[in-house]
């Protein structure tokens, strides 16, 4: 059996090097997690989930050992697992009780809380290079970027909020997609100073064929039996949204974005649009030109040419539109596509998938429909979220529990879907998704065990169908332990909100990212 660490990842092994590294750095697990600006994070990556499932003790034993509890009683563990490990979240399984005992030891608190979710994959701490690669089979390298496993983050209870999933009723609407939102703030550098906040929203895995649920996001309340030295699951609540807000020990957060896109067409002015329907764009790339053409004209000409030039057999190519306010300035227009789009997003630009359009007759000729979503309910409906104590309170007013579809107006109360995606005078450019160039390079190195700063990694799965091809390692166990790292990948989408400086003030800009292989990495800056 091998529990060795891949040297490329620069992480800890599961064996003695963990304790050696802790001693040499003067690390104290108690000090590490009680720092007022710190959270506690661990990620386990594996290419052999079938072997790990038979011995969960390999996961538990890799956590730091300490004579005192690893966590304070008011801390809440948030555990993300890939579908291979979903049954570890089942109340009948021993993994979660053993994990809680490992984290809390003999803590005298009678009530403990936890949150768990099933996600699609976990990113490694490698990222593709910026230049696009338009051909070749990269399935083996995809497996170097995306992994099975578990990711654990522990935060203060006061920094966790959720919304209970409504009971499904006959005739009611379909369940909304569950989402997990992680809001990261840097440490204030002075009293009353404003902290920059970055938020990542994550769409969860479809678990219908795993446990019968469309998605799995649960809040848990545990009861401590001090006499039996055991932790018992008291009850669980299915959640539709969970919002967690760990405060970074770093003074600032540095975002690193990887967006594997390739331009088809030029940057043009928006002439006419309504809601999420793009009607006309400028015929010329001259920013002062207002001569219109149908919105789909450029794509109808350039997309078939792109498909032919790159010998793309499957002609169902996804297209994204980058919508920019006229105030957005790009320092170097000759920079790479990656740099160009990232600079735009940092200034408030937004990416929207092109959902449909082209063709048609009369007034409908040449229209394009853009995905209007830029954020998830866990961010936009914060007023509906409550703390864990309140989530688990019995409903006193059960008789007033009105079916949710009767409480909404005919148009619904989320008017964000009716807002303009692009307005006349904005600029737009179209891109297609490409396979990232898988010449791997390391992203900012994870903090050491002596440092309580955490690196957060989120993104979208590259190609789900290719991830079934992986090296089984001749049946040997394979675990990579990454301290101070937390993250997940979605097959659906993530949303990224970041601070944007505008005219001396700072606002927030959010965009939805559903580009295969994209990444958002938030690293601590001292």
Q: Are residues 283 and 426 in the same domain?
A: yes
The two beta strands, 40-46 and 146-156, are antiparallel
Q: Are residues 26 and 97 in the same domain?
A: yes
**Within a domain: residue 1?**
no
Contact 458, 151 (CB under 8 A): no
The pLDDT value given to residue 360: 60
Summarize pLDDT for 450-499 with one digit per residue, the tens: 456 899 999 999 865 554 444 445 557 889 999 999 999 999 999 999 99
Q: Are residues 426 and 460 in the same domain?
A: no
- Among 47-56, 82-91, 235-244, name the one with the lowest average pLDDT: 47-56
**Within a domain: residue 354?**
yes
**Within a domain: residue 34?**
yes
Q: What count of residues does the chain have? A: 526
Contacts of 515 (CB under 8 A, 6+ apart): 259, 260, 261, 320, 351, 433, 460
Q: How confident is the model at residue 29 (pLDDT cuts 50, 70, 90)?
A: very low
The pLDDT value given to residue 71: 78
Summarize pLDDT for 249-277 with one digit per residue, the tens: 777 889 999 999 999 999 999 999 999 99
Closest CA to 261 of 467, 500, 437, 512: 437
Q: Are residues 293 and 424 in the same domain?
A: yes
Q: Around Cβ 133, how many Cβ atoms within 10 Å?
A: 15
d(CA 121, CA 123): 7
Q: Give the pTM.
A: 0.84
Q: Look at residue 34 and tell me whether its pLDDT is greater than 50.
A: no
The pLDDT value given to residue 37: 47
Q: Around Cβ 237, how many Cβ atoms within 10 Å?
A: 17
Residue 41: which domain range?
7-176+204-239+441-488
Q: Are residues 371 and 460 in the same domain?
A: no
Q: Are residues 79 and 160 in the same domain?
A: yes
Q: Look at residue 403 and tell me whether its pLDDT is greater than 80.
A: no
Residue 95: enclosing H or E segment and its boundaries? helix 95-104
The pLDDT value given to residue 225: 77
Q: Are residues 87 and 217 in the same domain?
A: yes
**Within a domain: residue 385?**
no
| Total number of domains in the chain | 2
SS3 304: helix
Closest CA to 514 of 312, 314, 374: 374
**Within a domain: residue 498?**
no
Q: Are residues 286 and 211 in the same domain?
A: no
**Within a domain: residue 474?**
yes
Q: Are residues 70 and 171 in the same domain?
A: yes
Contact 337, 438 (CB under 8 A): no
Residue 431 to residues 14, 317, 322, 323, 522, Cα–Cα distance (Å): 43, 10, 8, 11, 25
Closest CA to 429 of 254, 236, 270: 270
Provide the mean pLDDT of the chain. Answer: 79
Q: Are residues 167 and 23 in the same domain?
A: yes
Q: How confident is the model at residue 135 (pLDDT cuts 50, 70, 90)?
A: very low
Name which residue leads in pLDDT, 225 or 128: 225
Which of these three, 470, 488, 506, is where a domain ends? 488
Summarize pLDDT for 424-441 with one digit per residue, the tens: 999 999 999 987 654 444
HSE-up (13 A, CA, CB side) for residue 43: 24
Which percentage of the chain shows pLDDT scores above 90?
50
Q: Are residues 325 and 230 in the same domain?
A: no
Which of these three, 389, 407, 433, is where a domain ends? 433
CA 278 to centroid of chain Cα atoms:
28
**Within a domain: residue 191?**
no
d(CA 274, CA 419): 9
d(CA 105, CA 34): 16
Q: Look at residue 223 and tell me whether its pLDDT is greater than 60.
A: yes
**Within a domain: residue 193?**
no
Summarize pLDDT for 323-379 with one digit per residue, the tens: 999 999 877 777 889 999 999 999 999 999 999 887 665 567 789 999 999 998 877
Q: Are residues 19 and 115 in the same domain?
A: yes
């Amino acid at each position: 059996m091998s529990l060795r660490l891949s040297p490329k990842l620069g992480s800890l092994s599961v064996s003695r090097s963990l304790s050696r590294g802790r001693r040499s750095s003067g690390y104290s697990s108690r000090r590490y997690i009680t720092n007022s600006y710190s959270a506690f994070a661990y990620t386990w990556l594996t290419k052999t989930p079938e072997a790990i499932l038979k011995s969960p003790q390999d996961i538990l034993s890799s956590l730091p050992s300490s004579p005192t509890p690893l966590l304070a009683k008011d801390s809440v563990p948030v555990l993300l697992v890939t579908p291979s490990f979903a049954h570890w979240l089942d109340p009948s399984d021993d993994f979660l009780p053993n994990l809680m005992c490992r984290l809390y030891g003999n803590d005298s608190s009678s009530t403990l809380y936890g949150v768990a979710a099933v996600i699609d994959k976990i990113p490694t701490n490698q990222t593709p290079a910026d230049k696009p690669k338009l051909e070749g089979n990269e399935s083996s390298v995809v497996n170097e970027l995306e992994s099975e496993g578990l990711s654990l983050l522990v935060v203060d209870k006061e920094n966790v909020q959720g919304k209970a999933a409504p009971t499904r009723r006959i005739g009611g609407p379909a369940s909304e997609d569950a989402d997990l939102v992680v809001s990261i703030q840097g440490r204030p550098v002075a009293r009353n100073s404003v902290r920059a906040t970055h938020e990542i929203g994550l769409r969860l895995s479809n678990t219908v064929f795993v446990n019968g649920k469309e998605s799995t996001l649960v809040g848990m309340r545990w009861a401590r039996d001090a006499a039996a030295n055991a932790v018992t699951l008291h009850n669980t609540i299915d959640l539709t949204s969970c919002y967690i807000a760990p405060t970074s020990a770093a003074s600032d957060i540095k975002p690193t974005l990887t967006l594997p896109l390739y331009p088809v067409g030029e940057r043009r002015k928006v002439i006419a649009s309504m809601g999420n329907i793009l009607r006309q764009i400028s015929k010329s790339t001259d920013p002062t030109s207002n001569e219109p053409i149908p919105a789909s004209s450029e794509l109808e000409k350039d997309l078939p040419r792109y498909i032919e030039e790159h010998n793309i057999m499957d002609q169902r190519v996804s297209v994204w539109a980058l919508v920019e306010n006229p105030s957005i300035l790009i320092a170097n227009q000759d920079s790479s596509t990656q740099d160009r789009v990232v600079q735009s997003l940092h200034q408030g630009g937004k990416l929207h998938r092109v959902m449909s359009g082209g063709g048609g007759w009369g007034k409908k000729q040449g229209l394009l429909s853009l995905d209007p979503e830029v954020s998830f309910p866990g961010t936009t409906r914060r007023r509906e979220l409550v703390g864990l104590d309140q989530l688990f309170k019995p409903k006193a007013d059960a008789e007033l529990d009105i079916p949710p579809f009767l409480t909404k107006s005919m148009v619904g109360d989320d008017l964000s879907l009716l807002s303009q995606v692009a307005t006349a005078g904005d600029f737009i450019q179209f891109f297609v998704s490409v396979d990232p160039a898988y010449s791997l390079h390391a992203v900012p190195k994870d903090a050491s065990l002596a440092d309580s700063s955490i690196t957060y990694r989120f993104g979208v799965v590259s190609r789900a169908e290719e991830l079934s091809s992986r090296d089984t390692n001749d049946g040997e166990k394979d675990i990579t332990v990454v301290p101070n790292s937390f993250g997940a990948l979605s097959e659906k989408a993530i949303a990224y909100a970041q601070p944007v400086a505008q005219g001396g003030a700072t606002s927030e800009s959010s965009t939805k990212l559903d580009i295969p292989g994209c990444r958002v990495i938030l690293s601590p800056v001292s």
